[in-house]
Amino acid sequence: MDDKTVDEIFTRALSTPTLFTNKTVLRPDYVPSRLPFRQAQVTALGEALAPVLRGFIPSNLLLYGKTGTGKTAVTRRVLTPLGQRTTHTTVPVSVAYSNTRMAGTEYRVLAELATALSLRVPFTGLAVTELFHRILLRIAEVKSHVIVVLDEIDFLVKNYGDETLYDFTRAGEKLSDGHISLIGISNDLKFKELLDPRVLSGLNEEEIMFPPYTADQLKTILTERAQSAFLDGTVTDAAISLCAALAASEHGDARRAVDLLRVCGEVAQREGARHVDESHVRAAMQRIEQDRMVDALKSLPLHQKLVLVAAVFSHSNSSTGELYDDYMALCRRAGSEPLTQRRVSALLTELDLLGLLSVRVVSQGRYGRTKKVNPLVSADFVTEILAPDPSVGGLLVHWPTK
């Protein structure tokens, strides 16, 4: 691309009228001042926590609901004003928040909580138990009542078990001064089954449910969001309805709905269109779907990638047996020990769930039934995405043609 072309791109960007007035309100972490259809949850959380302002101990809480149902938004909407009122309370109150999936490790979760309590801890190096101990000492020292929020708590439990959570629920017994109340947030509805009954009863003193939004509710949410994000009248009603309907098609996920609204705005903007209409929503849907595939593909574990590579380069409708042979050949080339056929079969089911390939059971009359595998992504697509991947990229270059 020469300088002139770049220049033209910038000139065009400056001369096309913008559709957006405030794009920040479409960011995933933006919390709008109004949260329609969540008044009951806001009230329940507010009422559960309010006693802390008068020196009483609130119950531990579990917030539950599928992804994009407003759990984080409601929590932030309630905790921010609570945090602002903690200066004149009888007992000092602090709020410590960590999203355990984003923190990534148990150590970092505790380090984030420590930082929220103005406790300086090293980035790594301490034992988790020591870090926990220091947090308790700090709470006892400032005699503070701490509300600990563990968002996406299922990540922590799935990867590190429920020991730390148990310690949190029992911290009150160890603390002579100060107290900890826990708010756990989860979008995995089976999460409770992972917990030891003692931990569950400690954490689950009260529960707040977040049902999925209906398409109509998403439409209201999007209409309000569009009013603050776009120039008046630029987003058509039909576009908003379609965003809402598409986002409600699996379960009513407001994040998906807002994402769609942002991306369809970007598509329309790039086209130089004056209105955002349904065609932009459809294009946005495709782009999001494509991005989702790319992310899913990149983050697959090694053997999952090898199985997928085998599937996209095998002939179509291959049987699981044929696929397993190709997979083993790939493992040999990658210098990696192959997994058993049974395990590979489980990996195929997971890839099917991710929408990267389809596994169908086909009846073969009196020869019984067999499973046939068909990729849902093209070999070119997989090659483009995985070529830079050091673990499998080399295998894609010299794929033996059949």
Ligand X SMILES: Nc1ncnc2c1ncn2[C@@H]1O[C@H](COP(=O)(O)OP(=O)(O)OP(=O)(O)O)[C@@H](O)[C@H]1O
105-125 burial, b at 16+ Cβ within 10 Å, e below that, comes to ebbebbbbbbebbebebeeee
Compute φ and ψ for 61, nearest 5 degrees.
-130, 150
Angle at 194 between CA 206 and CA 62, to 5 degrees: 20
Helical ranges in 85-196 per DSSP H = 100-103, 106-116, 128-142, 153-160, 163-174
Report if residue 258 touches ligand X, rule: CB under 6 A: yes
Among 62, 121, 165, 221, binds ligand X (CB under 6 A): 221
Report if residue 234 touches Mg ion, rule: CB under 5 A: no
State how far Cα 397 lies from the chain centre. Answer: 33
Report if residue 41 touches Mg ion, rule: CB under 5 A: no
CB of 252 to ligand X, least distance (A): 10
Report if residue 243 touches ligand X, rule: CB under 6 A: no
Site for Mg ion in 342-361 (CB under 5 A): none
C-alpha to C-alpha distance for 206 and 73, rounded to whole angstroms: 19
CB of 267 to ligand X, least distance (A): 19
Report if residue 254 touches ligand X, rule: CB under 6 A: yes
Site for Mg ion in 67-106 (CB under 5 A): 72
Output the DSSP codes for 222-276: HHHHHHHHB-TT-B-HHHHHHHHHHHHTTS--HHHHHHHHHHHHHHHHHHT-SSB
Report if residue 71 touches ligand X, rule: CB under 6 A: yes
Among 45, 60, 70, 94, binds ligand X (CB under 6 A): 70
Report if residue 32 touches ligand X, rule: CB under 6 A: yes
Output the DSSP codes for 370-396: EEEEEESS-HHHHHHHHTT-TTTHHHH
CB of 151 to Mg ion, least distance (A): 6
C-alpha to C-alpha distance for 229 and 179, rounded to whole angstroms: 42
CB of 211 to ligand X, least distance (A): 11
CB of 319 to ligand X, least distance (A): 38
Q: Which does 160 bind (CB under 5 to 8 A by kind): ligand X, Mg ion, none?
A: none
State the binding string over 150-189 for ligand X (x if CB under 6 A, else -): --x----------------------------------x--
C-alpha to C-alpha distance for 63 and 151, rounded to whole angstroms: 9
Site for ligand X in 37-56 (CB under 6 A): 37-38
- How many residues bind to ligand X according to rule CB under 6 A? 23
What residues make contact with ligand X under the rule CB under 6 A? 28, 30-32, 35-38, 65, 67-73, 152, 187, 210, 221, 254-255, 258
